[in-house]
Structure 1
Amino acid sequence: MRILERISSFAGNTFAIWVILFAVFAFIIPEGFTWIAPHISLLLGIIMFGMGLTLSLDDFKGIVKAPKSVLIGVLAQYTIMPLLAFGLATVFQLPAEVAIGVILVGCCPGGTASNVMTFLAKGNTALSVTVTAFSTILAPILTPALTLLFASKWLPVSAGDMFLTIVQVVLVPIVLGIVVRVLFKKQVEKSTGVLPLVSVIGIVAVASAVVAVNKDAIATTGLLIFSVVMLHNVLGLLIGYLLAKVIRLDFRDQKAISIEVGMQNSGLGATLALAHFAPIAAVPSALFSVWHNISGPLLATWWGKRSER
């Protein structure tokens, strides 16, 4: 078990490298990764189950301990990123399917990697975990509703079908994970050190499958999509930070809110895109997964060293 935990820790610390490396492999030899695409929903469900195993009922008490910060974090998550996505898709005049993909990423909850990045940045990790938990629990309602609001300009959106998909691949696995943790607390705590490895494998597989399926589209429009994804992420991090600063949260909370807003659950975005739209709609999620695992660690490292000084 210790060897697995060391491997898991190494995989978590080098997450960005593996995402980039396998995305490149998938682009060069797509036939080696396309078989993963039909199993993306299952992979996301496993990742969300792992997230549930790491959550405890105490994580949801954060709303009582710091209601203002949690409320700001959740509201910022579901306003800043969707609005930025809509604005970027409009300004860059993106093709309909690509615009849908960018908006889907923007309407997703925060990703679990945000908790690790907040910890490395010496931010308020407890706040980050609580905001991630609440934004994820609210995702079945808010993600379809916001996608319908912002994306129906380009293509028809079935909010009801998206709701069912999110319940199946996000809400149910998380609840099951929490229940298993409550019932088998000691056994689960012994295995939590291995869970980052599961998440890394899952996200890398999802990103690789999306790149493989969309190799030709990425070759022609990849630079444009990547530019939009970079702007989306960087502006989300910046505006999230400025909002928390203007509201006068302390610096640790500012870092947590910034990272929560900027780092999305790109795996969910890819799953919804493949399930309800054209395959190319999943490309922004895949590229977002690559980019935010570069920008997140860079920002977290800079903030962490700044805190040490």
Structure 2
Amino acid sequence: MVSATSTKRTGCPILLLLQLLIQFTAAVASGIGSIATLRFDPVVLHDLSEETNRTISLIAEFDRDAFVKSGFDRNQWELRFSSLDENVASALTTVEYFNSSSLEDTNATLVLRKDFQVYGNLIGKTGVEVILTTVDESKTSSNHSEYMEVTNDGQGNVISSTLDVWVTRNERGKFLTKVFVATLVVLITFANILMGCELDLNVVLETVKKPVAPAIGFFTQFFIMPTLAYIIAQSIFVTRGLSSFALGLFVTACAPGGGASNYWTILLDGNAHLSITMTFFSTVASLVMMPLWMHLLGKQFLDGYHPEATIRVPYTKIVSSLMALVIPLLVGVGIQKWKPNVAAKARKIMRPYIVSVLVFVIAFGAYANSYMFFLMTVPALVGGLLLPWCGFMFGCFTSILLRQPPANVTAIAIETGIQNTGIAILLLKFSFPEPDADISALIPVIVASFTPAPLLLGMLVHRVIKAMRKGNENSANDQEQGMNKESSPLEVIHSSSSSLSTRKSYLPKTESDSTLSTRPMIKDFVDCPLLKGAPPNMTIEEQMEVVSEILSDVLTPGVVPR
């Protein structure tokens, strides 16, 4: 009878299933997640510099009674440390093992303290995940990536927690940036003085009195560029969740024209006076236009930043940019007025000096900000390339449609496409902490890096065309001189040294202006190369007689001068 009952019980599948379900539920309820917590000291790591490491303490706390009751005190435990992005930061400690003897008993709580190190590789944001599990659990799992998906949900013998890590620039990088900026200030100040030596304030005033070209530049600078940047940001960055890049691009487009636009305008033979005028007025206008655009559209790109983050316009930097432009220019104008010889020499070295400054900006700037090359992505490169290149194109087409002369077209196109990225970067640095500011500043740096490419190509094409035109003009002049040599009686006079040996030396250039003013015809002949080297003892009457004889012979058809 007993045997029959036993067989009957074991043969009931529903009862067996219920027993298994009860056992599974009990096991789940007593999982490690329900009796343990993980925390870090410090709670977050937001000041880790590149190429440095920091020691972080992991604190694991267990409920002592539940830990013993569940039998976890007999288990071997494992801690795994892994970075969510190895390019930004790495966990130097990867695995740690411990058992219950390593736990410290304090007030009915078992505490484990383990130190691990985090190394900063590149500026950015990431996290270091710590996974606590039994050794048996880790051995039965064939793929470590499974742990990355486990959270502290109170189920199973696995628990995890993530340390928030921000990596900022190291001190060496910050020092290089300071050296670059300080050197650039000195070089640009001297370049602006050289430009002032070539500046004509009367031409600038005429440009202001007829402000059609500056008005075109204002429209392309503060209406077309921000609209263009907004479209690019929404199309390329926002759709990919790259809000920091979107904000960096939009801020760059709202910045005034950069001082480099004046240099490129000179190198491309544009209207330098118009370029300087537009740079001045766009910088003044940015005091109003930048806050306006930030209020209208800039706030849309603040997703992912701190909820209390606000965009702060660097008014001090804008005013200092004005002073850095105006004061050296006025110094150059003063040199031009009171030291014309010095100004003439300055004009000769201005273009080679500007080229050397631009080379320095590109080379040293790339070296000082080399970390940004590692942050570049395809969307960032595309967006940073489109903004300046489209700016050149729209500035050029707009000025052509409004029938501006070629020199003005060059100045307006360059002024539209070149932004003052320094103001954009400072706005981002004033508004956000590191590394958010550095990450957002990547776009202004990319824009500045891609800006010279079409200009260098344009300068090369311009120089080639200019050289070809000069060669054609020289060839035409040579042909004209050849024809004149065959037919001009003056050339016959010049080459007939035997017949004119006593007549080839004419009026000296040292004749006083008061004497020559009464004889305008003779004064004209003084400047002719045919009349050089006259003996000092020749009187005016003798000189007039020589000239009269030459003119009589020359103007008689078919007669060769004696």
The answer to whether TM tops 0.5 is yes
User: Which whole-Å CA distance do the structure 1 matches of 2:301 and 2:392 have between them?
Assistant: 26
User: Which whole-Å CA distance do the structure 2 matches of 1:225 and 1:31 have between them?
Assistant: 26
1:167 is aligned to 319
User: Which whole-Å CA distance do the structure 1 matches of 2:296 and 2:184 have between them?
Assistant: 25
Alignment map for 1:88-167 (pairs within 5 Å):
88-94=232-238, 95-155=242-302, 156-159=309-312, 161-167=313-319
- 8 A Cα contact 1:62 1:127, kept in partner: no
Deviation at 1:183, TM superposition (A): 6.1
- 8 A Cα contact 1:44 1:268, kept in partner: no
Q: Is 1:224 the equivalent of 2:379? A: yes
Deviation at 1:204, TM superposition (A): 4.9
- Higher relative helix content: 1
Deviation at 1:43, TM superposition (A): 5.8
2:396 is aligned to 241
User: Which whole-Å CA distance do the structure 2 matches of 1:179 and 1:126 have between them?
Assistant: 13
Per-residue CA deviations over 1:185-236 (Å, capped at 9, x if unaligned) read 6498466847635565456545543443x45423xx2x22111111112211
User: Which whole-Å CA distance do the structure 2 matches of 1:121 and 1:244 have between them?
Assistant: 16
1:21 is aligned to none
2:177 is aligned to 37
User: Which whole-Å CA distance do the structure 2 matches of 1:125 and 1:172 have between them?
Assistant: 19
Deviation at 1:303, TM superposition (A): 4.6
User: Which whole-Å CA distance do the structure 2 matches of 1:202 and 1:122 have between them?
Assistant: 21
2:208 is aligned to 64
Indicate the SS of the match to 1:78: helix
Indicate the SS of the match to 2:404: coil
Q: Which runs of 5+ in 2 are unaligned?
A: 1-169, 303-308, 470-562
User: Which whole-Å CA distance do the structure 1 matches of 2:180 and 2:229 have between them?
Assistant: 23
Q: Is 1:85 the equivalent of 2:229? A: yes
Higher relative contact order (CA 8 A, sep 6+): 1
- 8 A Cα contact 1:81 1:106, kept in partner: yes
- Higher relative strand content: 2
- Higher Rg: 2
Alignment map for 1:174-189 (pairs within 5 Å):
174-178=325-329, 180-181=331-332, 186=339, 189=343
Question: TM-score, normalised to structure 2's length?
Answer: 0.43
Per-residue CA deviations over 1:5-42 (Å, capped at 9, x if unaligned) read xxxxxxxxxxxxxxxxxxxxxxxxx9864422356765
Letter in 1 for 2:453: I
User: Which whole-Å CA distance do the structure 1 matches of 2:322 and 2:216 have between them?
Assistant: 22
Aligned length: 275
Indicate the SS of the match to 2:237: coil
- 8 A Cα contact 1:47 1:202, kept in partner: no
Counterpart selection for 1:266 from 421, 443, 448: 421
User: Which whole-Å CA distance do the structure 1 matches of 2:447 and 2:228 have between them?
Assistant: 14
- 8 A Cα contact 1:211 1:286, kept in partner: no
2:158 is aligned to none
- 8 A Cα contact 1:118 1:128, kept in partner: yes
- 8 A Cα contact 1:123 1:252, kept in partner: yes
1:11 is aligned to none
Letter in 2 for 1:292: T
- 8 A Cα contact 1:234 1:262, kept in partner: yes
User: Which whole-Å CA distance do the structure 2 matches of 1:149 and 1:39 have between them?
Assistant: 36
Alignment map for 1:189-228 (pairs within 5 Å):
189=343, 193=349, 196=354, 197=356, 201=360, 204-212=363-371, 214=372, 216-218=374-376, 221=377, 223-228=378-383
- The range that moved more, 285-294 or 266-275, is 266-275
2:47 is aligned to none
User: Which whole-Å CA distance do the structure 1 matches of 2:204 and 2:227 have between them?
Assistant: 27
User: Which whole-Å CA distance do the structure 2 matches of 1:275 and 1:205 have between them?
Assistant: 24
C-alpha change, 1:198 and 1:33, in structure 2 (3 Å) is farther
Indicate the SS of the match to 2:451: helix
- 8 A Cα contact 2:255 2:423, kept in partner: yes
- 8 A Cα contact 1:36 1:206, kept in partner: no
